[in-house]
Structure 1
Amino acid sequence: MTVDTQFIGKEYEPITYVIGEEKIKEYAYAIGDLNELYINPEFAKKSKYSSIIAPPMFVVVFAKGAMDKLFSDKEVNLNMSRLVHGEQEFNFHKIIKADDTIKTIGKIKNIYSKNNNDFVELQTDSFNQKNELVVQGLWTFIIRG
C-alpha cells in the first residue's frame, strides 16, 4: 500500500463558495437541463423556492475545492499520475439556491487496498449560511498499483 492509512480521519480547512445565479444557469446549459427553476429567475421567483435553485449535481462545482485540498496535500502525497475517479455518492438534505453561501469540509474517511490498488474515500459535508447540512458526498479515488 502506497497511501498511508494514518491519514484516515484527516480533515481539511473549509472551502467557501457563494452560489451565483449566473453559475447555476451556465451549469444548467452545460448539462442540457433547461428546467425553468434553474434558468428563469421570474419563473423561479413564483415557485415555492422563491429563487433560482441549483441542479443537484451542482455539488461538484462547490465541493471541488475540498478535492483540490486532498490532491495537493504533500503529506498524503497521492500519485496523481496513477489516480482515477472511482465513484461518488451523495445524500441531499436541502435545496441550494442562488446567493447561498456554502461551506464544504473535506475529510479522509477511509484508505484501503484491493487488487493491488489503493482506494481513498473523501467525505465532503457542505453547509449553507444557516449552518444546515445541504449535501454530504463520498468520493472514491483509485490509485492504480
Structure 2
Amino acid sequence: MIDPAIVGKRITSSTDFTVNQDAITRFCQAIGERDDSIAPPTFSFTFIIAAFEETLKGAGVDWSRMVHGDQRFEIREPIKAGDKLSISSTVESVRSAAGNELVTVRADIEREGQEIIHAWSTLVVRG
C-alpha cells in the first residue's frame, strides 16, 4: 500500500540531465517521428521516471505491479539537443480505485533556471 503521507513530497534531482542529439534522434525513430530538430513531448519521460522513482522511494510502491496510467504536459519551450536540464518532482495525490492504487506525480523541468515543462503522470499499482 502506498503511504498517503507521501503527498506533497518534493525532490529536486541531485544531477542535471544533458540532452544529446543522438538520444533525440533514436527516440524519434522509435516513435516514427521524422523531425528530430526538437525532442517530442514524450521524450522527457525517458529521464523523468528516474526522478519519480527517487520521489516515491520508501512510500511502499511495488514497482513490479506498476503500469503507466496517464500523462499530460504543459510545454512552454521544447527540449533541444545541448540542453542541460534540472528536474524536480512532487507527489500530488494518492488514491484507490477499482482495487488499484493511483499516484499522480508532477515533474518540473528547468533549463538555465527557467521552467520549460510541467509533466504529470498517473502511475497505477495494480491490485
Change (3 A) 1:64 1:79: closer
Q: Unmatched 5+ residue regions in structure 1?
A: 39-51
Q: When the two structures are aligned, how many residues end up with a matched partner?
A: 126
Q: Which residue of 1 aligns with 2:118?
A: 136
> What is the alpha-carbon root mean square deviation over aligned residues?
1.6
Distance 1:69 1:143 in 2: 17
TM-score (norm 2): 0.88
In 1: Cα distance, 2:40 partner to 2:16 partner: 19
Q: CA deviation at 1:81?
A: 2.6
Q: Which residue of 2 aligns with 1:53?
A: 38
Structure 2, unpaired ranges of 5+:
none
In the aligned structure 2, how far is the partner of 1:77 from the partner of 1:103? 26
After superposition, where does 1:66-145 map in structure 2 within 5 Å? 66-70=51-55, 73=57, 75-129=58-112, 131-145=113-127
Q: Per-residue displacement from partner, 1:10-37 (whole Å, max 9, x unpaired)?
A: 11232521011121112122222112xx
Q: Secondary structure at the match of 2:82?
A: coil
Bigger fraction of residues in strand: 2
Report how far residue 136 of structure 1 moved.
Answer: 0.7
Q: In structure 1, the residue corresponding to 2:10 is in which secondary structure? A: coil
What is the TM-score with the length of structure 1 in the denominator?
A: 0.78
Structure-2 separation of matches of 1:19 and 1:106 = 19
Q: Which has the higher Rg, Structure 1 or Structure 2?
A: 1
Q: What is the distance in 2 between the residues matched to 1:30 and 1:117?
A: 30
Q: Percent identical across equivalent pairs? A: 25
